[in-house]
Structure formats: C-alpha cells, structure tokens
Amino acid sequence: MEVVTRIAPSPTGDPHVGTAYIGLFNYVFAKRHGGRFVFRLEDTDRQRYQPEAEQRLLEMFEWLGIEPDEGPELGGANGPYRQSERLEIYRRHADLLLETGKAYRAFETAEELEAMRLEQKRLGRPLGYDGRGRSVPREEQERRAAAGEPHVIRLVTPDEGEVTFVDRLRGEVSIPASEVRDQVLFKSDGYPTYHLANVVDDHLMGVTHVIRAEEWIPSTPLHVLLYRAFGWDAPEFIHMPLLRNPDRSKVSKRKLDTSVDSYRQQGILPEALLNFLATMGWSMPDGREFFSVAEMTERFDIDRVSLGGPIFDLKKLRFFNAKYLRDLLPLEEVADRVEPLFRAAGYEWDDDDYLLDVVDVLRPRAETLMDLVDQAGYFFRDTLRYDEAARKQLAAGQSHLQDVERELSMLEFFDYDGVDDMLRDYVQAQAVGMGKVLMPLRAALTGTTQAPSVTDLIVILGKEESLRRIGAALTFIDAGLPDDDPQRALEEEKARKAAEAEARTSHKKSVGAERAAKARASGASEEGPR
RNA sequence: GGCCCCUUCGACUAGCGGUUAGGUCACCACCCUUUCAAGGUGGCGGCACGGGUUCGAAUCCCGUAGGGGUCACCA
C-alpha cells in the first residue's frame, strides 16, 4: 500500500516553525517510502481565520523546498484540500453517525456549559462535558433542530473501559474511557471540529501515517473511537516530540520567535533551518550532522526519533546557518542569495567579481545573510563614518598612512602578492609591529577596526579607491578627528562628498577577479551542502 | 487537580546488557594571526533518584521525583 502522509496546518497567524518541523518529517517519511505528501488546509475555525495565511503557508513550504504532491493549489485526486470546501462531506458523515445513534444533537448554551464547568470545579469533579445531552430523546432533538434551535453534534463515547491505540514510537497507549468526553463533532456555526474533519479527511484522502505533534496524544483515543464509529481502519499514529522554548514549555511566540518568515527575513537559509529542524529529535545513523533533505530522505528511519522534547536553540540554529554560509554553500550561491539584499540596502557594484570578492572575505564573519549586509557597508559607501576605535587608530597612525599612501601609489604590481609584499617590506623597514601600520590603515579603509585582512581590503577596493580612502582619512585627521556628533558628522560628510565629487572619476572597480578565481579554485566549497 | 507522554553533559544527541559513556553547539584555555572572525588543539561538563532482574546495567522491570502535554462549539 502506498504511503500517504499529510501536513494539515490551520491558516492562523504566521507560518510556524512547528509546522515546518512536522511538515519536514511527514515529507521525508513519505518520500522515503515512495509515497505521497499531502497539504490540507484546516480552515474550520472562522474566528481565527486569516485570509493571507494560506498563501504564506504555501510560500513557506516552497521556500523550504518541501513541496506537497497534493494541495489546494496544485489539486489532486482527493480534493478539495480546503476543509471549508468540504462541508457537505462532513455533514454527510455526521448524519451517518446521527442515524446510527453514535452521535447526538446537544443544545446546551455557552452559559450552561460554563455553569457546568464551575460546578465541576467547585465539587472537585473531573472537568469536561458530562454527556447530559444524551438523555434528550431523539425525536425532541430532531424537532428542536428542525425548528432552527442552535446546537452542536456530539459523539457518544463509552463510559467504561479503556481506549487503546498504538503509537509507533511509544507502543500501546491506553486511556480510561471516562477521560474521553462526548466531544463536539459539529459546531453550531455549521463547521466541523478538527476531530471530525481530520478523521474523515485522513480516511478519504488515504492517509496511512499520521505524523503529528505530541500534543495530540490525548485526543487520539477520540479519533480512534471515531474511526470505529465509521467502521474504518485507523492510520498508524506517530507522535513527534514537541519543540520547546528555552524554559522547556512548548514553543510559543511569546517566549520564542516562532515565525519562519521572521527567520527568513533575518537571513536564515532554508537549508540551515531544515537541517537544524531535522536534528530536533532525529539523528543520522552515521552521526553526520550536516545533511540535506535529500540525504535525510535516503537514510530516514522514523524509529530513530528520540522522544525528549528538544529545545529550539537559536544559537545552534545560527551556527548551522553560519556553517552553510561559509562552508557548505558555494561562494556563488551565497552571492546569489545575498545580492537582492545588497541591492535593497542600496549597494551598487559594476562587476560581479566585486560582489564575489566581498562575500568571499566577509562570510567567515557572518552567521546570517543580514550579517553580510550589515558588514558589507564600507565596501559600497563613498563616505565612511569612523567609529571611536577607528579614530584612535587614525590619530596614532598619521605618518604611516602618509607613507603607505605614497608606497601604494608607486606600486606597479597591484595584485595580492604585490600589495602584501609592499606592506610587509614597509613594516619591516620601519621596524614596528604590523598592527602599528595595519590598524590605522584598516581604520582608514573601513572606518572600523574589525574587518578582513588589510591586504584583502586593498586588493578588493582597488588602487584608486584605496588611495582615495587613505586620503580622506588623512583629511579627516587634519580636521582634528571630529567625533560622532550627528550634526557635525553630517556636515562633514556633505562637504567631503562635494569635494570628492569632482576629483573622483570611477572607483569601486574590481581588481579582484583574479583573487576570486584563485579562492574558488583552492576552496573546497564547490560541492554544496552535504 | 485527573489523565497521558517524557527523562544521557547548560543545549542537540549517539548508545539499544559488558564502552575510560562518543560527537556537536555553547563556554574556557592555548595555537595560528594584521584587528575581528574563521580554522586547529585541548579542557570543563552527563546517565534524576531508589529498588529490583542479571555474573554484569545508561541500556530491562517497578516505584519516586522532575519536566511537558491535555482536559474548548481552537487546531
């Protein structure tokens, strides 16, 4: 029999990491067994329904590359895939239960139910619907319903005995039947509840394995009873551990960022998020921790799922992301992904080799794509702001800057080795520490003291731009190193921009194509994620 | 509170009767070094507790404790 799994999110709020997590495991399980993965929209809650949520959900899976085989947009043999479009089906099935006496119409108002709850609480009795509506005669039920009295449809559940089901990961789970309430199957607004809709749909859509979160275990007996009432075989149940907040409660947006869109905006890569999620409760048989969804699928074994609820650790997610950024993805790939973000930040460049060079030297320092955007600023700005540490370096390095400016302008072989030799020769001739020369230079080139190797910076920026920046820094020093007072800094920038405008011809020219080629040839990053 | 699930370093996990309990993140130290990173090396740190079963338990059983979930006309 073909394996069929599903992800059945409800369109409320932001696309949730838990949905991605459960979706991943359903997808991988189905693919591992050559089966199908179905996307079904559980939009039976009219209060919480958000129209844009469906599209965002679909986009999330698209971004992740977890593509359903059937769903609301791509269709399939078992549609429709929106529960709101299947109301007639649920109606029919509810009627079936009504006719066979396995369900009944209940007429309690919200106030009555609330009073019942309070009474139960006061007496210390078990909470939940007590089945009082069962005693209303059938004829009366039908008559009141026909008269248009609002009501719900509830399942008749056994009062004694136990309900048992098998969870693939836990074995037999039994629960006293008295714990299972006469749950609402149909709400008074004409929509089915999750319980009814999910059982009916899973059966009709041929779902063979229900992989869902652990929080569903308590209502599984009810589902089992429903399958029984319909005379259907239940699918196999596999309850995944719940993702946890740092305090071990189940993930919630109050305590953790649960929005996949948010991570996406922060520059988290889908590969990294997926890989990270995969390690939540699952591990490769060979202990590998970096792997693609395809590789996971190849080796997937649901029985290797561990049951302790894993904490969603942002630090580790960022580590995974950094790993993909600097090691697992080819340079070109990272550049492709960051390019639109650079453009959005207003960065411009003439030659794609320049972009490649920038990403190449920056990515060991970045954990997310946004880090790259933040750090790349000085590669694309005409006018630098010097932070405090940089100003200090400039103050101490004026003479070295003047010397290097001269040396650099005379340099004939402007490639990595040429620049590097020049710098080293100069430092040696001066008989000072490298830092004494390079830190002021770094400050002049970037406006900050935390940046890539000075040689790399000079080679990437190019002779002309490097000289221009050193000159600007010297001017800045002459101006007495004005501090970061916003107003003054603004005027300062304005004046400098005007002055530079005419002196400048073209800069930001890439001289780094050669370097990039070299890096690509020697780098081991051509194979992509593994 | 009732019911149910879970329990190996701070975190993610390997282990499925015999291991000096392994790896990764984080943290710390050292190395590299031109700052910051990255990288390399090393370190810190764990089988919740108590009973059994067994020649032998992290591994099997029971109990206790702790954590979590759930008790809606939400999913």
Q: Where are the domains of chain A?
A: 345-522
CB A352 within 8 A of CB A516: no
For A345-522, CATH gives: 1.10.10.350
Nucleotide nearest to A108 (CA to C1'): B73
Spell out the SS3 assignment of A11-33: CCCCCEHHHHHHHHHHHHHHHHC
Blockwise average pLDDT, block size 10, chain A, 530 residues = 97 97 98 98 97 97 98 94 98 97 96 92 89 95 97 96 96 95 97 98 98 97 98 98 97 96 98 98 96 98 97 98 98 98 96 97 98 97 93 94 96 92 95 95 97 97 96 92 60 55 40 36 31
Residue pair A90/A42 in contact by the 8 Å Cβ criterion: no
ipTM of predicted assembly, 2 dp? 0.97
Say whether the CB atom of A54 is under 7 angstroms from strand B. Answer: no
pLDDT of residue A501: 52
Neighbours of A207 (CB within 10 A): 24
Contact criterion met (CB below 8 Å) for A73 and A62: no
Q: What is the pLDDT of residue A493?
A: 59
Q: Which of residues 188-207 of A touch strand B (CB under 7 A)?
A: 188-189, 191, 193-194
Active site includes A31?
A: no
pLDDT at A482: 78
Q: Is A86 helix (H, G, I), strand (E, B) or coil?
A: coil
Those nucleotides of strand B lying less than 7 Å from any protein Cβ are: 1-8, 11-15, 22-26, 33-39, 67-75
Cα dihedral sign, A93-A98-A100-A104: positive
Encoded tokens for A343: 């453009």
Q: From the candidates A102, A187, A250, A253, give the one annotated as an active-site residue.
A: A253
* Distance of alpha carbon A432 from the chain centroid: 49
Instruction: Among all protein residues, pick the one whose CA is nearest to the C1' atom of B68.
Output: A249
Which residue bears the tokens 């990491």? A17
Cα–Cα separations (whole angstroms), residue A447 to A392, A455, A472, A473, A511: 11, 16, 11, 9, 21
- Check if the beta carbon of residue A207 is closer than 8 Å to that of residue A75: no
Which residues lie across from A172 on neighbouring strands?
A: A166
- Residue A77 phi, psi (nearest 5): -75, -15
Closest nt to residue A303, judged CA to C1': B16
CA of A212 to C1' of B9 (A): 30
